[in-house]
Amino acid sequence: MNTNNDYVLEMRGISKSFPGVKALDKVDLKVRRGSVHALMGENGAGKSTLMKCLFGIYLEDEGEIFLDGKKVHFENPKEAMENGVSMVHQELNQVLQRSAAENMMLGRFPKKSIFVDEKKMYEDTKKIFDDIGLDISPKIKMGKLSVSQRQMAEIAKAVSYNAKVLILDEPTSSLTDQEVEKLFEVLEMLKKRGIGIVYISHKMEEIKQISDDITVFRDGKWVATERAENLSNKDIVSLMVGRPLENRFPEKTNKPGKVILKVENLNSVYPDGVKDINFSLREGEILGIAGLVGSRRTELLESIFGSRQATGKLFLEGKEIKNKDPKVAIKNGFAYLTEERRSTGIFPMLDLKENSTLASIKKYKNGPFVSEALRNKSTKWVIESMNVKTPSSKTKIASLSGGNQQKVIIGRWLLTVPKVLLLDEPTRGIDVGAKFEIYKLILDLCNENKAVIVVSSELPELLGICDRILVMSNGRLAGIEDAKNLTQEKIMELAGKYL
């Protein structure tokens, strides 16, 4: 079989089916040496499935894979890594209670007799970190590192297997702009070493900035491969969704009314929380929360929802309430979509019906019985209104793509018919078409006089959908202004106010 020497990786005619769905249908991917090859498509288009076939997590039904011109087939991830294919997943799988060095050497500890050679383990880890300019002590516990440091450590680990191909799945979803720049510097360095990088992301701006080539999938099929400079953002979106998407954000039709929520003197009980937070939220309003990583945006939502202890007062529709814990908060009309969907959002071993209806289970009860017909109707509404790509309502949620999992969780909270909806990074890891759908759902909710608070790291998103934006800086409120009066530069200036 002839292969082109310019390509470090060739995947030809790869197909993969799961019960009820064809995830990949004879797709191709060719990655040039020393290049960043972006792999794009809507959630469920087959991007991650293809990479899992390459990495030995899934067994493809048909097709061929060539690495450095040689036909390969990996039975498991260990075999893939030992042959030069490494993958950094969107959801980091690290042992947070162990040191950085132990995480680096997991499965390949250096030995002295029958014992682990700790001195060599730390020395080898230091070399791996130095190799990509990562200033982290090998002895520090992984759980003490920031998300960005953990991400860079995972990339260092991947490269340390003498990687020929490095797969990055949504690598910047939790990074600040400065951290993204650092990542891009590392990727440029890896390109110069001849490593082929497969880069999965939904962020248009960074795709155009870092990519050499772009491949687009749609519904499990290959659609196009082009040099990045030949494609505009509009071209990419059209290829992904199969139709032109003229506007990134829906037209704002909501009209904020009277105050529905008042927050007074909110202070975290524990250190490193929020301090002296005061603001109000109106019916029909979308309030954005901006800030750098570590600004305590998530802690603010948790304090309001009762999942983090805090002092201060909450007034809902003029009446003082106490959200002592999440159960009480839900009863009071609050709903909270967490940022970490895998660890605190989904019930991975349960199906879509369970994941959709658990938060609103009381409304399906009639005495000691639960109406399965009503639960099925609600699950159908979640699947259809959120456009969830799934074989059926009985599919386990863990088998869905990350973006489709996110849609189910949003649908779950909408079923509780909340008065105040708290959303932490609601469109993280979600494609442009699905983002538009979620923005539209948020607006529809506001048109029913509900109120929404949105935490997002994407400033264009906050400016595009919010009425006002509250900026956090080191746990404090640095400013709150109408979105139309703010720019990205002004928000970043406020975000640094108390640093």
DSSP 258: S
Write down all domains in the chain, each with its CATH number in brackets: 7-241 (3.40.50.300), 259-495 (3.40.50.300)
What pLDDT score does 3 carry? 54
Name the H helices within 55-176. 77-82, 100-105, 118-131, 147-159
88 touches 158 (CB < 8 A): yes
pLDDT at 380: 93
Give Cβ neighbours of residue 445 (< 8 Å, ≥ 6 apart). Answer: 414, 421, 452
Q: What is the CA radius of gyration of the chain?
A: 24
User: Which residues have a Cβ under 8 Å from the Cβ of 304 and sit 6 or more positions away?
Assistant: 263, 266, 314, 323, 329, 334, 422, 453
What per-residue confidence (pLDDT) applies to 1?
A: 45
Task: Decide: 442 and 286 in contact? Cβ < 8 Å.
Answer: yes
CA 59 to chain CA centroid, nearest Å: 25
Bridge partners (DSSP) listed for residue 480: 470
Q: What is the structure's pLDDT at 208?
A: 87
Q: Helix 432-446 to helix 402-414 angle, to the nearest 10 degrees?
A: 10
**Tens place of pLDDT per residue across the chain (499 aa):** 445 678 999 999 999 988 777 889 999 999 999 999 999 987 778 898 999 999 999 999 999 999 999 999 999 998 998 899 998 887 677 888 889 999 888 878 888 888 888 899 899 899 988 888 888 899 999 888 877 788 888 888 888 888 899 999 888 876 777 778 888 988 998 999 999 999 998 787 788 899 999 999 988 999 999 999 999 888 888 888 776 666 788 899 999 999 999 999 999 998 888 999 999 999 999 999 999 878 999 999 999 999 999 999 999 999 999 999 999 999 999 999 887 666 567 888 889 999 999 888 888 887 888 888 899 999 999 998 877 888 888 888 888 877 788 888 888 888 888 999 999 988 877 777 778 888 888 898 899 999 999 999 888 899 999 999 999 999 999 999 999 999 988 998 998 888 7
Asked if residue 21 lies in contact with residue 221, where contact means CB atoms within 8 angstroms, the answer is no
| Structure tokens given for 13 | 């005619």
- Structure-derived torsion over alpha carbons of residues 280, 294, 332, 362, reported in degrees to the nearest 10: 150
283 within 8 A of 257, measured Cβ to Cβ: yes
Q: Is 162 helix (H, G, I), strand (E, B) or coil?
A: coil
Instruction: Report the distance separating Cα 297 and Cα 261, nearest Å.
Output: 18
What is d(CA 462, CA 483) in angstroms, rounded to the nearest whole number?
Answer: 8
pTM over 0.85: no
Specify which residues 31 forms β-bridges with: 9
